[in-house]
Structure formats: C-alpha cells, structure tokens
C-alpha cells in the first residue's frame, strides 16, 4: 500500500508534481546511532596467610575506572523544536571504588 499523498487534489492539477509527494520520508530504519559507550572495570586482589588455616583477602574493585562519561541517545522527538538530535543526559554511573576484606578460618 503506498503512502498517502500530501495533497491528492492538487497533485492532479499541478504540472510540476510538487504536491505528489508522500507524507513519509524515504530514510531507512535505524539510521541514527547514539554515541559510543565505554565502561572499564578493574579489580586488585591480595591474599595474606595468617596461619596454616587462616587467611585474609583484601580486594579493591574499580567500576568505570577512567570515569568516562557515557552520553545518552540523542532526542528523537521531531515535534519539540530544537530537541531532535541533541543529547541532554548521561547514562550509567560515575567512578565507584569498593574495598572488601575477607577473613577465612
């Protein structure tokens, strides 16, 4: 089924056929892509033997170690002036560091 014309009555009387265009564009699906996402996690682990049966493990976890900002997808609403294609927010979390100490006996 073809797309509806902008003005079907004017299409038949217009010699330039400017009104014979459809209401929809000819761009494909998913042609706009958002910005690249990057998230690096890193862990350091050190184990210490206290006795033959006891040990302590110290762990440090870094989430998003480089603190790289991950931007959200651009706005896709064409009805709000000035919002199409603009990025208004970020996604994900900032750098987080977690320490843990485990005693095994």
Tokens of 9: 């009555």
Given a cut of 90, is residue 15 above it in pLDDT?
no
Max Cα-Cα span within the chain: 96
pTM for this entry: 0.61
**What is the pLDDT, as a whole number, of residue 30?**
74
Strongest mean pLDDT among 9-13, 16-20, 92-96: 92-96
Look at 1 and 77; give whichever has higher pLDDT.
77
Q: pLDDT per residue over 23-69, tens digit each?
A: 666 777 777 788 888 999 999 999 999 999 999 999 999 999 999 99
Q: pLDDT per residue over 69-90, tens digit each?
A: 999 988 877 777 888 888 889 9
How would residue 18 be classed by pLDDT, with cut points 50, 70 and 90? low
**Helix (H), strand (E), coil (C) string for the chain:** CCCCECCHHHHHHCCCCCCCCECCCCCCCCCCCCCCCCCCEEEEEEEEECCCCCEEEEEEEEECCCCCCEECCCCCCCCCCCCCCCCCCEECCCCEEEEEEEEEC
């Amino acid at each position: 089924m073809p797309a509806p014309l902008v003005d079907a009555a004017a299409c038949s009387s217009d010699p330039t056929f400017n009104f014979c265009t459809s209401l929809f564009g000819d761009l494909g699906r998913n042609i706009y892509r958002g910005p690249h996402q990057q998230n690096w996690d890193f862990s350091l682990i050190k184990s210490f033997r206290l006795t033959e049966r006891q040990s302590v493990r110290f762990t440090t976890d870094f989430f998003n170690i480089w603190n790289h900002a991950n931007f959200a997808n651009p706005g896709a609403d064409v009805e709000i002036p000035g919002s199409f294609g603009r990025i208004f927010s970020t996604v994900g979390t900032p750098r987080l560091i977690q320490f843990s100490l485990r005693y095994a006996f």
